């Protein structure tokens, strides 16, 4: 297979970038791979690495397979049906600490920053109107706080109606972002406990799992009154006229981490060169997606709109992928960083990103007991593998395919603290001090607290 691929790569013009044909190819332990993904626009690095021939340049024969939902994807990775996958960042962390399915999964590559939104039904949007500030031109002032939703939740309660919202998986960014937004507006999203994994203990708003492509239909059916999901499923609600996005995650927390590429620790250990080769191809794809001021995004949208990838209409995907976001029909606003794939070191797997997810697991009771700061650091280091990422980047630089200035060679794995101005509740985040961060959040478990039955006890 390797000889065949080398010949094909040498004879075919696969990419406008410089060819790595003169570079020494890694001695791959495994050259035929099956990689899984969910139909979301942030799987783009996988599609681009395949379509632009970057996998092939590394001697890899890759099959990309869409998965029905995140649980199926996780199980496929663990049982070996998938060699790697586009994953929720919380999945490798949760599996490694034994929350849900237990397995040691690692990530050498972060897929993107931002990319999500929170959408409410038309009924809820109408009820929110009296509580939303307006700009001079009459359009809603963004970002919109969940405090504008709180009176609507009260109205539902008075009418004897539960207020339900959807998110895509218990350890998804979407779950934590939706909870963050609700809590910042004074609404309690509910706790988990070891005995109750629904996450609805003490909740003002009841959150439940809905697979991403099913979000618009579930909203239209009235089963849920809003949701948090990645694109293109917020814009789909606008195009269908069934809902209104109220906030993007870029407005909630500027340049927040999103998906990761996950492999089992066993695969990484047995196939180190193959892991490097995959990471090299994904870095190249991320660079292509962001280069020249997103000049390649229209081509990327065409790729993603194909049925084997995301399969949504070109115009729906293009709204967010090309630097815009439509909140209501006609209210189309510039958000150039809605999808970020390489800028701001988006692909580097920062320990501080991992620790934020762990703090949210602890905040809402998925981690039952308080842990010392050292525990958060140790878990992050066991799952996030910047050393693999930087080795892949070094090889790309040596191959003449990347600029050394684009990589954080001297990083200790921690980002600079997120300033208060970049977060909707004006609470800064420093990954080096997770317990102090948890104590700073008004709603959520604190040191020494745990959920027992339906109560929070010290």
**In the CATH scheme, what architecture does the domain 2-113+258-324+338-349+385-406 have?**
3-Layer(aba) Sandwich (3.40)
3-state class of 434 per DSSP? helix
Is the per-residue pLDDT at 334 higher than 90?
A: yes
Give per-residue burial for 101-124: e unless 16+ CB within 10 Å, then b: eebbbbbbbbbbbbbbbbbbbeeb
Is the per-residue pLDDT at 423 higher than 50?
A: yes
3-state class of 256 per DSSP? coil
**pLDDT band at 233; cut points 50, 70, 90:** very high
**pLDDT band at 100; cut points 50, 70, 90:** confident
Query: Percentage of the chain surpassing pLDDT 90?
Result: 93
Provide the token pair at 407. Answer: 């990589």
pLDDT tens per residue across span 31-89: 999 999 999 999 999 999 999 999 999 999 999 999 999 999 999 999 999 999 999 99
Instruction: List, in sequence order, every beta strand (DSSP E) within 255-383.
Output: 260-264, 324-328, 331-334, 339-340
Locate CATH 3.40.190.10 in the chain: 2-113+258-324+338-349+385-406, 116-255
Measured CA distances, 269 to 79, 92, 274 (Å): 16, 16, 10
Is the per-residue pLDDT at 12 higher than 80?
A: no
Is the per-residue pLDDT at 9 higher than 80?
A: no
pLDDT tens per residue across span 259-290: 999 999 999 999 999 999 999 999 999 999 99
Q: Give the lowest-confidence range in 8-12, 341-345, 350-354.
A: 8-12
Q: What is the mean pLDDT of the chain?
A: 94
Is the per-residue pLDDT at 457 higher than 70?
A: yes
Name the pTM for this structure: 0.94
Domain topology for 116-255 = D-Maltodextrin-Binding Protein; domain 2 (3.40.190)
Is the per-residue pLDDT at 383 higher than 80?
A: yes
Q: Which distant-in-sequence residues (6+ apart) come within 8 Å of 260 by Cβ?
A: 87, 88, 89, 92, 107, 109, 110, 111, 349
Q: What is the pLDDT of residue 20?
A: 47
């Amino acid at each position: 297979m390797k000889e065949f691929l080398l010949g094909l790569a040498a004879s075919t013009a696969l990419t406008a970038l410089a060819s790595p044909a003169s570079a020494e190819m890694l001695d791959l332990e495994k050259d035929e791979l099956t990689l899984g993904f969910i139909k979301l626009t942030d799987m783009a690095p996988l599609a681009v690495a395949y379509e632009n021939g970057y996998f092939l340049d590394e001697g890899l024969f890759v099959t990309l397979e869409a998965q029905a939902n995140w649980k199926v994807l996780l199980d496929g990775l663990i049982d070996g049906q998938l060699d790697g996958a586009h994953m929720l960042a919380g999945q490798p962390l949760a599996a490694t600490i034994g929350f849900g399915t237990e397995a040691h999964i690692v990530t050498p590559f972060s897929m993107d920053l931002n990319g999500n939104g929170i959408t409410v039904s038309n009924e809820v949007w109408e009820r929110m109107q009296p509580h939303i500030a307006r700009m001079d031109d009459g359009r809603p002032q963004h970002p919109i706080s969940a405090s504008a939703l709180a009176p609507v939740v009260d109205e539902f309660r008075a009418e004897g109606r539960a207020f339900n919202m959807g998110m895509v998986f218990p350890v998804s960014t979407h779950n934590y972002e939706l909870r963050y937004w609700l809590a910042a507006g004074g609404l309690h999203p509910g706790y988990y406990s070891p005995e109750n994994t629904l996450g609805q203990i003490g909740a003002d708003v009841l959150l439940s799992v809905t697979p991403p492509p099913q979000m618009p239909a579930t909203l239209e059916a009235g089963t849920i009154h809003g949701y948090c999901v990645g694109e293109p499923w917020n814009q789909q609600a606008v195009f269908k006229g069934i809902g209104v996005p109220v906030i993007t995650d870029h407005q909630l927390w500027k340049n927040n981490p999103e998906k990761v590429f996950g492999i089992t620790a066993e695969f990484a250990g047995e196939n180190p060169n193959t892991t490097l080769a995959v990471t090299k191809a994904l870095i190249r794809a991320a660079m292509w997606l962001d280069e020249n001021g997103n000049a390649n995004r229209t081509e990327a949208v065409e790729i993603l709109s194909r049925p084997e990838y995301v399969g949504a209409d070109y115009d729906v995907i293009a709204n967010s992928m090309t630097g815009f976001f439509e909140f209501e029909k006609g209210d189309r606003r510039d958000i150039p960083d809605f999808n970020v794939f390489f800028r701001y070191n988006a692909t580097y797997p920062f320990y501080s990103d991992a620790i934020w997810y762990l703090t949210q697991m602890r905040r809402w009771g998925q981690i039952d007991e308080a842990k010392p700061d050292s525990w958060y650091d140790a878990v992050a280091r066991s799952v996030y593998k910047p050393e693999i990422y930087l080795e892949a980047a070094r090889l790309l630089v040596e191959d003449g395919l990347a600029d050394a200035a684009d990589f954080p060679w001297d990083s200790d794995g921690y980002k600079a603290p997120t300033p208060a101005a970049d977060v909707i509740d004006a609470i800064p985040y420093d990954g080096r001090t997770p317990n102090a961060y948890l104590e700073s959040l008004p709603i959520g478990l604190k040191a020494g607290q745990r959920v027992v039955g339906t109560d929070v006890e010290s």
